[in-house]
Amino acid sequence: MLTILHRLVKMSLAFRRTFALLGTGLFLLCMQASGQTSPAAANSPANAILGSIVGKVIPFTRDSERYRVSGWNKTEGDYAWSDGNSARLALPITADAGPLTVKMTLRGLVQPPTLPSQPVEVYANNQKIADWLVADRKAFIAGIPAELAKSGGKILNLELRIPKAASPQSLGMNDDGRILGVCVYSLEVVGATAK
């Protein structure tokens, strides 16, 4: 009985350390997104746990919620809608990532002829990198120069600005009063060496 109790105590301590590091990692993401992170914090063990997302496809299921900073509705199956006129992501990358390419599969809240597409301004580390017109579901791509990717340290801050986000209710589509702009299915950040 004592051996079992001893093992349970060890497991409890291990879980506490893991959750403390994950909590610190989320705190760092928020701090870096607001530009308040110190270089020492960026190199902390919690940041290492998150790992770089470069080269990985991130489906917008619940697994993507850890990267969402603000402006997102709850996950709905295999996608998530933006909430309001701005949606932000904090994506862990390596400090020496080099030039990157962002690929997102999106669909816009549209109601032709009133709203045939959603204009989306894409920002990386507070600098505009693309303008997209989003209607039907398709992949969109934007390049990020190496200097811009490096300016965020180990975090790539992406923002989608959606000036014509609207509620389906205001467009006469249904009773949904949420302010929606784009529906995101997946995200991928690839480096210059990826094909």
What is the reported pLDDT for 19?
Answer: 41
Q: Does 164 lie in the same domain as 116?
A: yes
Residue type at position 69: V
What is the reported pLDDT for 120?
Answer: 98
Domain boundaries, position 32: 1-50
What is the reported pLDDT for 192?
Answer: 73
Residue type at position 119: P
- For the entire predicted model, the pTM comes to 0.74
What is the reported pLDDT for 4?
Answer: 56
Q: Does 57 lie in the same domain as 35?
A: no
In the sheet with 118-124, reading across from the earlier edge strand, the strands are: 68-70, 86-92, 155-161, 118-124, 127-134
What is the reported pLDDT for 97?
Answer: 86
* CA terminus-to-terminus distance, the chain: 56
Average pLDDT along the chain, 195 residues, taken 10 residues at a time: 51 44 44 41 39 94 95 97 98 92 98 97 98 98 95 94 98 97 97 64
Q: Does 153 lie in the same domain as 57?
A: yes
What is the reported pLDDT for 50?
Answer: 58
Least Cα distance to 185 among 69, 59, 94, 92 occurs for 59
Q: Provide the CATH number for the domain around residue 119.
A: 2.60.120.260
What is the reported pLDDT for 18?
Answer: 41
